[in-house]
Amino acid sequence: MGHQNFNRTDKVLESPCSDFYKASLRCLDTNGYDRSQCQKEFEDYKACKERESATRAQRRAEKNCT
């Protein structure tokens, strides 16, 4: 049927922030899932997601103005 379902992980891996996401997971794995050791990776991923969200909102606003 032409429609392909994606789960949440698929969306994350296809996003522009996927490298930051993978770095966060790699850090957790390397550090025995001690979140306190991975704050920089979490902050980098969060900042990327915020930029991505702002970009989407800007594009949506520009589209609605035309």
Give the start-to-end residue ranges of the domains of the chain: 8-65
How far apart are alpha carbons 16 and 13 in whole angstroms?
8
pLDDT at residue 2, rounded to an integer: 47
pTM (predicted TM-score): 0.76
* Per-residue pLDDT, 4: 56
Instruction: Please give the single-letter amino acid code of residue 11.
Output: K
pLDDT for position 10: 73
17, 13, 9, 5: which is closest to 53 by C-alpha? 17
Residue ranges of the chain with pLDDT lower than 70?
A: 1-6, 66
Rounded to an integer, what distance in angstroms lies between the CA atom of residue 43 and that of residue 49?
10
**End-to-end Cα, the chain, rounded Å:** 34
